[in-house]
Amino acid sequence: MKKIVILFSGEGFNAQNIVKKLHNKECEVVCGITNKKDAKGLDKLKELLVKTDILEHINFESREIFDAELVKLIKSYKPDLVVLSGFMRILSDVFTSNVKAINLHPSLLPKFKGANAIERSFESEDVKCGVSVHYVSNELDGGDIILQKSFIRSERETFDSFTAKIKEIEFELMPKAIIHTLKEYE
């Protein structure tokens, strides 16, 4: 069975969804790694009996030094794929040249790269909005797209209803993208 490592920074809802849908079915989630000791996703993964690790970026002098330690930790689990699921770090070449990874992004890339994509997408005049899963590359949110799914914004869309649609698509799209990517590596 193929192995994945999930990287996350916060609530961990997408990580939890991945574990529930795929763990010990389509792949084995060998670890969830966070860069924040107070990430709520730690409890969610522990409840699902998935091993977790904490590697706080604030303890490192540079992005590259942190990324080198992160790569070392990831490689200790020998994953076939690394899944960034709300991992709020810009990764250096130290990471991108050593790890096969995919990332979930809450916009239709190439629009709204980087942080606060949901807010920027909502505030835009775009009628067609959605979610992307892409390969991680040296360019922020610039790797080749694996899957995208869109929706048409309603005329009376609120930020809460917009966010709920994004989250629903994320929950659907990321497991599909993981399965698709793991099959590519066979």
> Which of 2, 3, 5 minimizes the C-alpha distance to 73?
5
Question: Which of the following is catalytic: 23, 57, 105, 180?
Answer: 105
- Side chain identity at residue 170, one-letter code: E
Identify whether 105 is a catalytic site residue.
Answer: yes
Give the whole-angstrom CA distance, residue 50 versus residue 52.
Answer: 6
> Which of 106, 94, 93, 73 minimizes the C-alpha distance to 7?
73
> Which of 129, 178, 177 minimizes the C-alpha distance to 151?
129
Q: Where are the alpha helices (DSSP H) in the chain?
A: 13-22, 41-47, 63-75, 93-96, 117-123, 159-184
Residues catalogued as catalytic: 105
